[in-house]
Structure 1
Amino acid sequence: MPDTPFPALRRRGFLAAAGAASLGGLALTGCGTGTDADAEAGGGSAPKRGGRLRAAFAGGGASETLDPHLANLFADVARAKALFDKLADYGADLSAQPRLASAWEPNAALDRWHVTLREADFHDGRPVTAEDVLYSYRRIADPDKAFRAKASLEPIDLAASRATGARSLEFVLKRPTAEFPNVLASFGAYIVPEGAGDFDRKPVGSGPFRFVSFAPGRSAVLRRNDAYWDGAPHLDELEFVVANEESARVNALLGGQVEYAHELNPTTARAHEDGGRISIVRLRNSAMQAFCMKTDRPPFDDARVRQAFFLIADRQELVDGALAGAGVIGNDLFGKGYEYYAGTLPQRTRDLDRARALLKEAGAEKLKVTLDTSAVAAGFTEAAAVFRDQAREAGVTVEIRMGSKDSYWSDILDSGTLCCYRSGAMPIEAHLSQRLLTDSTTNATGWRHADFDALYRQAQSTRDRAERGAVYERMQRRLHTEGGFLVWGFADWIVGTARSVRGVDAKAPANTLDWARFDKVWLA
């Protein structure tokens, strides 16, 4: 899945009539019940078999595809996980959980991993084999293709890796990699049959649903796979429909045209929370919210200035003002609640006196800085305005610069000095490797330190999990003290459902295994 939730692309057509439906009340309750606890337990009723669930997502128009290796939008990934499987996927704490792989075991040097496959079949009856896995990974790694998981599979020497049996294979790695299971769980690393290539006419996967029909930019209809290795879904059919505007998704849900609406904003939920016509599921901790300071250029090349900005932020005010309270405060570290998160560090609080003193020491008493933001993500412009006012109290002038929604993410990677930033769920190890090493391709803070890189390599070559966790904690302590990410909050991802829907997991952040897990959902 995307590091950042992707903007809805505008389109007229399907569900246009939904706009005529009256916006009724949204009940901030568990899925189909009166409490969050009931929602997390599956709705308080035994699963019922049958029916078709219609799920509304923002889509990508006529260019949409069912090729799982090209999955990019949330709609793409939800469809892909219904049709296909990965070797592993991320649990709620972002640790790798076995899927098509039933087991994995490294050698002593952590540069060779033996993976055993479970017994599973593709929709056409063929068994999933080691050769299918190698074909899938080599397809993803094709240098002439822009498949999303390509960078994640980079540690594997695919030329040297080999099948050791019908359901076993040895992955040879280019370097020791203790967190190799995260590679198996990479976004987009789906397993397809050997030789597969035509996915839009009749895709064949090993997932819980089988292909029925697909109209790019409009809908996809899937049917229950009774032979699914993890148990047949409760639903007879699943239909994905495209509704790019949030208002269209909400109105379609209220009007009974869909039973599931993905990506609702907190303002909508708060404005209609007392009506009780639909249910809301909040997927906690789904998106990091931050300001990104460029540590390799003035004024943020001075650690004292970065530390001052940490102390300027009123995190609760940012959560309340930018997220309408739909989230929790951050502590300037990625991955709150995830595996290896340094949760023992004290929560940083606002201290304007100390912030002013640090700025004075750095010779930046009357600092002026430009904050780049955009309407590319919910809450960005609001967060920029809130922080501008907070900084003024410390004698800092923040000028807000609005960027293009179309180019914002590429623009802020190399330009500017301070920007609004967010990230979807991923393992802390992946965040470190993708964003904080000297050669990381998305190093938005310009954090480049050879000793920090060495700690990452040490962690990856450490077999014992507790010892590896201790190294990750050292890295996070340094980032907490002088890093470039001012992580002020973690936003909920909000899903709306009809009152009849059961089994939506409220504990799973977006992008993880149990997000959009429609094989576990049923209609009461």
Structure 2
Amino acid sequence: MHDPHLHPGLRRRAFLAAAGAVTAALALTACGSSPADRAGADNGGKPRRGGRLRAAFAGGGAAETLDPHLSNLFADAARAKALFDKLADFGSDMTPRPRLATRWEPNAALDRWTVTLRDAVFHDGRPVTAEDVLFSYRRIADPEKTYRAKASLEPVDLDASRATGARTVEFRLKRPTAEFPNILASFGAYIVPEDTGKFDKPVGSGPFRFVSFAPGRSALFRRNDAYWGGAPHLDELEFVVANEESARAGALLGGQVEYAHELNPATARAHEGKGRIEIVRLRNSAMQGFVMKTDRPPFDDPRVREAFFLIADRKELVDGALSGAGEIGNDLFGKGYAHYAAGLPQRTQDLDRARHLLRQAGAGDLRVTLDTSPVAAGFTEAAGIFRDQAKKAGVTIDVRTGNKDSYWKDILDSGTLASYRSGAMPIESHISQRLLTDSTTNATHWRHKDFDALYQRLQSTKDLSERNGLYERMQRRLHAEGGFLVWGFADWIVGTGRRVRGVAPDAPANTLDWARFDTVWLA
């Protein structure tokens, strides 16, 4: 998920799920379902209590874990959300929403933030306290470990941060951080009880309690009647593993599960509106594009980068590589998210202008290698389509298919042009993790001290309207000469049985309402 995700991490692993059969856990009796926006039509919109919902996800075999700080797969993340809570989580526009925290308040310098916790309890009855928060964050930041949220917590001085009351934490930061609430909502930043050492029988504060777990096969959780957000409608929630998309779709159609995560566009087209299952499209869940290395030929010349922006026929890429399940991009991350520069003109294909720019740059007969891999849906298809588009501008693209197990590491530093994708994250996180001189996942090698200075100025600016102006200024520059050719944004597709209610229709993967089973019920 982060870098899910998000860093392309979580998505990356989910798409890499090895082919496998539906586990024996899928051989249970059927229940049905339907998404939240249809609930009022046949059930008066009134939730009904009871029943067990079975949700099918791609799994990771023995690598699966209930340690929420190690979550790497979508299945891990969904289980963590059921068992644990974060201080905040992201809404569909990628702004942080309160969860275990009820409020966060900065000092004038934006380098100290006081976070107030709600009155919540863990599954064993202990209250969630400020010490639990500090323990959890210090565990995540352990330099000897590789917990997913570690990079997000980097601005926090956890040695200096302290509890100022049973339910108040003063976070001291290494520098002004206006967007500090994004840290509270970071992927994997879950709160666990102080001194937790193992997760064979995990105790959290989430809407469901642990019952059983068989890595690579299934997990069973039961309703937490003491949940601070209100007890879930379901009696039980079962996660089952089905690695192949066809296995998840087949289990849903056959009534062995009521929820199937990550279906492909062909499955959605075949069954949408046909009455057997419901298709829920989670819009803007994944950015799709290419990265150009801005520090090496030919892409060290901004005219060549602009030419490649103009070569792309975005609609053809969305239709061909995503089977139409998405919308076109404009060479910027975060369409539909807070601070997105929606006012910039939509870039369209202009082959004449592209050829002119290439001639100006002395690259009229350019030949370049495009690295791609079956590591993510649509990658190889998009590479082939873009190769054919470039040919019309006189550019020869040689498509090189890499090893999916090492692809993300390989393209970070090597090559010049590569297929790329990212899941949901705030635009601020995209900038800090991918576009600063010292960013650890800077795949475009965009390194400009004046751009870094704009980011630091943004983080030191308390006034939101002034910050929005800085976001737009940074995005204008990236739109004009950056290294991300963002051609589309893919839908994430979930299938449910016809009796399921409460599945949020517009929740990108990794956000608060994605895989949020405490609001789901069976009609």
- Please list the CA deviations of residues 409-435 of structure 1 after superposition, one character each: whole Å capped at 9, or x if unmatched: 111101111011000000000000000
Alpha-carbon distance in 2 for matches of 1:401, 1:39: 47
Alpha-carbon distance in 2 for matches of 1:338, 1:95: 8
Quote the residue 2:34 is aligned against. 32
Contact 2:26 2:257 in 1 (8 A): no
Quote the residue 1:25 is aligned against. none
Alpha-carbon distance in 2 for matches of 1:287, 1:362: 33
Q: Per the alignment, do residues 423 and 40 of structure 1 end up closer, same or farther by CA in structure 2, a change over 3 Å counting?
A: farther
Contact 2:271 2:277 in 1 (8 A): no
Query: Does 2:68 align with 1:68?
Result: yes
Quote the residue 2:432 is aligned against. 433
Alpha-carbon distance in 2 for matches of 1:309, 1:40: 48
Alpha-carbon distance in 1 for matches of 2:308, 2:40: 38
Quote the residue 1:154 is aligned against. 154
Letter in 2 for 1:58: A
What secondary structure does 2:298 align onto?
coil
Query: Does 2:243 align with 1:244?
Result: yes
Letter in 2 for 1:296: D
Q: Per the alignment, do residues 43 and 520 of structure 1 end up closer, same or farther by CA in structure 2, a change over 3 Å counting?
A: farther
Shift, 1:38, TM fit: 3.0
Alpha-carbon distance in 2 for matches of 1:517, 1:64: 19
Q: Per the alignment, do residues 483 and 40 of structure 1 end up closer, same or farther by CA in structure 2, a change over 3 Å counting?
A: farther
Quote the residue 1:496 is aligned against. 495
TM superposition score normalised by structure 2? 0.95
Quote the residue 2:23 is aligned against. 15
Shift, 1:228, TM fit: 0.4
Shift, 1:268, TM fit: 2.2
Quote the residue 2:89 is aligned against. 89
Q: Per the alignment, do residues 15 and 485 of structure 1 end up closer, same or farther by CA in structure 2, a change over 3 Å counting?
A: same
What secondary structure does 1:264 align onto?
coil
Q: Per the alignment, do residues 16 and 373 of structure 1 end up closer, same or farther by CA in structure 2, a change over 3 Å counting?
A: farther
Shift, 1:32, TM fit: 2.0
What secondary structure does 2:128 align onto?
coil
Shift, 1:45, TM fit: 2.7
Shift, 1:18, TM fit: 7.4
Shift, 1:507, TM fit: 1.2
Shift, 1:465, TM fit: 0.8
What secondary structure does 1:70 align onto?
coil
Contact 2:55 2:240 in 1 (8 A): yes
Contact 1:50 1:234 in 2 (8 A): yes
Alpha-carbon distance in 2 for matches of 1:415, 1:41: 54
Alpha-carbon distance in 2 for matches of 1:164, 1:252: 51
Contact 1:223 1:238 in 2 (8 A): yes
Query: Does 2:174 align with 1:185?
Result: no
Quote the residue 1:23 is aligned against. none
Letter in 2 for 1:15: T
Shift, 1:270, TM fit: 2.0
Gaps of 5+ in 2: 28-32
Contact 2:149 2:187 in 1 (8 A): yes
Letter in 2 for 1:293: M
Alpha-carbon distance in 2 for matches of 1:358, 1:509: 37
Alpha-carbon distance in 1 for matches of 2:357, 2:44: 54
Query: Does 2:392 align with 1:384?
Result: no
Q: Give matches, 1:22-421, under 5 Å.
A: 32=34, 37-38=37-38, 45-200=45-200, 202-273=201-272, 275-421=274-420
What secondary structure does 2:156 align onto?
coil
Shift, 1:44, TM fit: 5.8
Alpha-carbon distance in 1 for matches of 2:86, 2:37: 30
Quote the residue 1:27 is aligned against. none
Letter in 1 for 2:398: E
Contact 1:38 1:44 in 2 (8 A): no
What secondary structure does 2:262 align onto?
strand
Letter in 1 for 2:373: S
Q: Give matches, 1:470-509, under 5 Å.
A: 470-509=469-508
Q: Per the alignment, do residues 388 and 100 of structure 1 end up closer, same or farther by CA in structure 2, a change over 3 Å counting?
A: same
What secondary structure does 2:158 align onto?
coil
Alpha-carbon distance in 1 for matches of 2:22, 2:483: 43
Identity across matched positions, percent: 78
- Please list the CA deviations of residues 227-285 of structure 1 after superposition, one character each: whole Å capped at 9, or x if unmatched: 10011101000000011111110111111111000001112222444643111000000
Contact 1:130 1:163 in 2 (8 A): yes
Quote the residue 1:24 is aligned against. none
Shift, 1:41, TM fit: 9.8
Quote the residue 2:447 is aligned against. 448
Alpha-carbon distance in 2 for matches of 1:378, 1:176: 39
Letter in 2 for 1:135: F
Q: Per the alignment, do residues 309 and 269 of structure 1 end up closer, same or farther by CA in structure 2, a change over 3 Å counting?
A: same
How many residues are treated as equivalent by the alignment? 510
